[in-house]
Amino acid sequence: MAARGIHSLRFNQDQGCFMCCMESGLRIYNVEPLVEKAHFENDLMGSIAMAEMLWRTNVIAVVGGGTRAKFADNTVLIYDDLSKKFVMEVTFTGPIKAVRLRRDKMIVALQREIHVFSFPTPTRRLLTLETRDNPKGLVEIATLASAQKQLLAFPGHKLGSVQLLDLGATEAGSSSAPVTLAAHQGALACLAVNGNGTMVATASAQGTLVRVWDSIRRHLLVELRRGADPATLYCITFSRDSEFLCASSDKGTVHIFALKDTRLNRRSTFSKMGFLGNYVESQWALATFTVPPECACVCAFGARNSVIGIPILFERYLQSLPTIGSHSVPFCNFSAICMDGTFHKYVFTAEGNCNRQAFDVFLDVCDDNDF
**pLDDT at position 277, please?**
53
Question: Per-residue b/e over 117-152, b at no fewer than 16 CB within 10 Å?
Answer: bebbeeeeeeeebebbebebbbbbbbbbbebebbbb
Measured distance CA(303)–CA(11) in Å, rounded: 14
The three-point CA angle 325-14-171 to 5° equals 120
Q: Compute, in degrees rounded to 10, the torsion defined by CA atoms 75, 119, 46, 236.
A: 90
- Would you place residue 168 in the very low, low, confident or very high pLDDT band (cuts 50, 70, 90)? confident
Which of the residue ranges 64-78, 161-175, 252-266 would you say has the lowest mean pLDDT? 161-175
CA distances from 359 to 11, 65, 224, 331 (A): 18, 29, 28, 18
* CA pair distance 203, 306, nearest whole angstrom: 30
Asked if the peptide bond before residue 120 counts as cis, ω within 30 degrees of 0, the response is yes
- For residue 44, report the phi and psi dihedrals to the nearest 5 degrees: -90, -50
Q: Is the pLDDT of residue 304 over 70?
A: no
CA 83 – CA 57 distance, rounded (Å): 12
Tell me the pLDDT of the chain averaged across its residues.
83
Contact 119, 125 (CB under 8 A): no
Cα–Cα distance, 166 to 173 (Å, whole number): 11
Q: Where are the domains of the chain?
A: 6-290
**69 confidence band (pLDDT: 50, 70, 90):** confident
Q: 6-290: what fold?
A: Methylamine Dehydrogenase; Chain H (2.130.10)
